[in-house]
A and B are shown apart, each in its own frame.
Chain A
Amino acid sequence: MKIKRVLVLVLVLFFLSGPLRASADSVLVDDFEQEAANKVGGRTNSYVMAPSRVLALRVTENAHGGKKALVLKYDKKGTGGPYDSGGWCGYYTMLKVGSRYYDASGAKAISFWVRGDREDENFVIGLSDKHWDELGDSVKSEPVVQYLPAGKITKEWQKATVPLSAFMLEAKELASIAICFEGSIYPGGESRGTVYIDDLMLE
């Protein structure tokens, strides 16, 4: 009887420990319910170099989970600004808090939910570790449409999963995740649109 009980316990613990380990490795970086801070205590903000521009706000209509989602209105120009390349624009969320970098060695991917207004929107994900943070830049992913089930941003929410291996960075010391409206992914180097983002995770 005792052996049976121990076997039952071991089996139950075995099945329970899997999901628990998985949830411990999945970290909600931001659900955009707060205003300027994300869920890991880092700051968030837009970045811009004229003449490009971006506006980051929270919307309460049609959020993916919870009450709010992030909306990014972007206007990436093709000319003007430094090197006549139209400047740059995007949004970042800091994983680094103070002088402490973020240890994401247990994570395999960045995931988030995304939708657009016109279905022709696009952007890339930027990720920086300690080295890239010191340079003030990030390593960019492929265009986000390549990580979406539909192969494009749609008016419905879709989950994008970007493997960390795409960035070849030191996952033990991450600094930030960025949503970058890069000229190189748009015809003529310029584009204007609106995207909605929710439930940004490291998993």
Chain B
Amino acid sequence: MNKQSLRNDMFFVLVLCLMLCATPVFAAEVSVRDVPAFPEGTAILPIEQPRMQRGRFGAYAMSPSKMGIFPDFKIAKRPGSSVEPMYVRFRKEPGPSFCGSYWIIAGDLRKYATLTFWIRGERGGENFEIGLNDLIASRREDAIMGGSIYRYLPGGITKEWQQVKIPLEDFFGADFSRIHSLVFSFSDPGEGALWIDGFVFHEEALVQREDEIIRSGELLLDNFDHSDLNLLGRKTNAYKKTPSFCAASRVEKPRRGNQGRSLRLDYDKQSTGWAGYFSLFNQIDGAYYDLSQFKEIRFWVRGARGKEVFDVGMADRSWLTIGDSVKCGTIDKYLKKGVTKDWQEVVIPFKDFGKLDWSQMGSFVVNFSRPAKGTLFVDDVRVIRKSDEELLKEWDKQ
């Protein structure tokens, strides 16, 4: 065997080794066309058959809102992509009309953990909410919502291509063996355009939100900027029992910071009934949230007139089961001058809520208990984590 042939052999072996080592890298991601089919025996109604074309995009709208989606052959392809991106044009009018688009999956997603795709906007700052339809949700025309695009792109859509990574578990309760479609719902009034491209399903979990919470030392529960769901993707709403009343809305004025919205609560608390607002930590019928390594809740508040009074409550699994929460006292306890017409930050230590099961938390509550009528604004609700030093000190004390 001469030197040249030995060199050739070694090169051949090296290439084979590299191929063997690289194989697993390519195994765990697929396009929609390679997603497994629905499980055998899945009933598809005749009326649904035409709506099972994998990878097909479509639009829906109720007049006067408008929606359009089509491949854009004029714009340059996204670097690395061989197909034209889809162009999405929307006009959401104020009021009850709606508009959105969908992307048909028609497959079994049980083995996938993450969906990724690419997006860019015409102006930047475009907003929509993302939902997933299993076959049942599709028949009800009521998608399981995961939250606003800002939940996945905290800096928002820009004029540059950005990759969106969505953990599929955000669509809690979906039957992942029978997923029909992904939905983009445009609920903020306004108009604009964006491009989307490159949808891929990954077996790997590409998003680790809890690592980020530990790194930053806080959980931002809600900034009220872009969605009626909070930033955990959980439900929020006003609660009321007549003759008392409370309505929740997200408003641009006033707000903290230069952009986004704050929460506006219009309340009329009578001597009977109840009025307030809740934001959930848990998924309904799902897991509760572990706040055992957190120490306090913080938020910003101001009133329309000043002197508004309310209680702050928190509920663990037991309190949520009975539909109530533990209150830490009125807001005057935490704001020396009470609520004013200026933003003030409220800091409430968890110990003020007594003995809750912090490993199974359910909700944060703003409750109006005193008879009064008024308007309150809330922004940037955050939960602050204990440092490792604080956790160790607490451990040694017990």
Q: Which residue of A20, A35, A41 contacts B20 across the interface (Cβ within 8 Å)? A: A20
Are A99's CB and B110's CB within 8 A? Answer: yes
Stretch at the interface among A2-10, A143-151, A178-186: A2-10
Give complex CA distance A182, B19 in Å: 46
Check: B21 CB closer than 8 A to any chain A CB: yes
Chain A residue with Cβ nearest B214: A35
The minimal Cβ–Cβ distance linking A72 to chain B, given in whole angstroms, is 11
Mark interface residues in B1-44 (1 if CB within 8 Å of A CB, else 0).
Answer: 10001000100110011001100100000000000000000000
Check: A168 CB closer than 8 A to any chain B CB: no
Are B5's CB and A37's CB within 8 A? Answer: no
**18 A-B pairs in the complex with CB atoms less than 8 angstroms apart:** A5-B1, A8-B9, A9-B13, A12-B13, A20-B20, A24-B24, A34-B208, A37-B208, A37-B210, A41-B205, A46-B292, A53-B395, A73-B395, A97-B169, A97-B205, A99-B110, A100-B110, A100-B111
Give complex CA distance A107, B267 in Å: 60
Are B211's CB and A37's CB within 8 A? Answer: yes
Known: A100-B110, A100-B203. A35 touches B215 (CB 8 A): yes
Check: A193 CB closer than 8 A to any chain B CB: no
Chain B contact residues: helix, strand, loop or mixed: helix
Give complex CA distance A53, B359 in Å: 11
The minimal Cβ–Cβ distance linking A21 to chain B, given in whole angstroms, is 9
Are A37's CB and B20's CB within 8 A? Answer: no
| Residues in chain A near residue B398, CB distance under 8 A | 53, 75
Check: B167 CB closer than 8 A to any chain A CB: yes
- List which A8-62 residues lie within 8 A (CB) of chain B: 8-9, 12-13, 16-17, 20, 24, 34-37, 40-43, 45-48, 53, 55, 57
Give complex CA distance A62, B205 in Å: 29
| Residues in chain A near residue B208, CB distance under 8 A | 34, 36-37, 41
| Residues in chain A near residue B103, CB distance under 8 A | none
Are A13's CB and B1's CB within 8 A? Answer: no
Are A98's CB and B13's CB within 8 A? Answer: no
Most chain B beta carbons < 10 A, residue from A16, A41, A45: A41
Q: Which residue of A24, A37, A55 contacts B392 across the interface (Cβ within 8 Å)? A: A55
The minimal Cβ–Cβ distance linking A201 to chain B, given in whole angstroms, is 16
Q: Which residue of B168, B210, B215, B395 contacts A55 across the interface (Cβ within 8 Å)? A: B395
The minimal Cβ–Cβ distance linking A153 to chain B, given in whole angstroms, is 20
Mark interface residues in B43-58 (1 if CB within 8 Å of A CB, else 0).
Answer: 0000000000000000
User: Which B residues are within 8 Å of any A CB, using their own CB?
Assistant: 1, 5, 9, 12-13, 16-17, 20-21, 24, 110-113, 167-169, 176, 203-206, 208, 210-211, 213-215, 290, 292, 359, 388, 391-392, 395, 398
Check: A1 CB closer than 8 A to any chain B CB: yes
Give complex CA distance A35, B211 in Å: 5
The minimal Cβ–Cβ distance linking B189 to chain A, given in whole angstroms, is 34
The minimal Cβ–Cβ distance linking B387 to chain A, given in whole angstroms, is 10
Known: A13-B16, A98-B113, A100-B112. A57 touches B392 (CB 8 A): yes
Give complex CA distance A141, B1 in Å: 56
A-B pairs, top 3 by smallest CB distance, nearest first, are: A41-B205, A36-B210, A35-B214
Give complex CA distance A55, B359 in Å: 12
| Residues in chain A near residue B395, CB distance under 8 A | 53, 55, 73
| Residues in chain A near residue B110, CB distance under 8 A | 99-100
| Residues in chain A near residue B17, CB distance under 8 A | 16, 20
Extra contacts besides A12-B9, A13-B16, A41-B204 (10): CB < 8 Å: A1-B1, A1-B5, A9-B13, A35-B214, A35-B215, A36-B210, A43-B210, A48-B292, A97-B205, A100-B113
| Residues in chain A near residue B168, CB distance under 8 A | 98-99
Give complex CA distance A16, B392 in Å: 48
| Residues in chain A near residue B214, CB distance under 8 A | 35-36
Are B176's CB and A9's CB within 8 A? Answer: no
Known: A1-B1, A9-B12. A35 touches B210 (CB 8 A): yes
| Residues in chain B near residue A99, CB distance under 8 A | 110, 168-169, 176
Q: Which residue of B24, B167, B391 contacts A57 across the interface (Cβ within 8 Å)? A: B391
| Residues in chain B near residue A8, CB distance under 8 A | 1, 9
| Residues in chain A near residue B392, CB distance under 8 A | 55, 57
Are A13's CB and B211's CB within 8 A? Answer: no
Chain A residue with Cβ nearest B205: A41
Most chain A beta carbons < 10 A, residue from B12, B168, B205: B205
Are A55's CB and B391's CB within 8 A? Answer: yes
Are A45's CB and B13's CB within 8 A? Answer: no
Give complex CA distance A21, B20 in Å: 9
Known: A41-B205, A57-B391, A98-B167. A4 touches B211 (CB 8 A): no
Are B205's CB and A37's CB within 8 A? Answer: yes
| Residues in chain B near residue A9, CB distance under 8 A | 9, 12-13
| Residues in chain A near residue B21, CB distance under 8 A | 20
- List which A75-133 residues lie within 8 A (CB) of chain B: 75, 97-100
Give complex CA distance A99, B169 in Å: 8
Chain A residue with Cβ nearest B172: A98
Give complex CA distance A17, B176 in Å: 37
| Residues in chain B near residue A37, CB distance under 8 A | 205, 208, 210-211
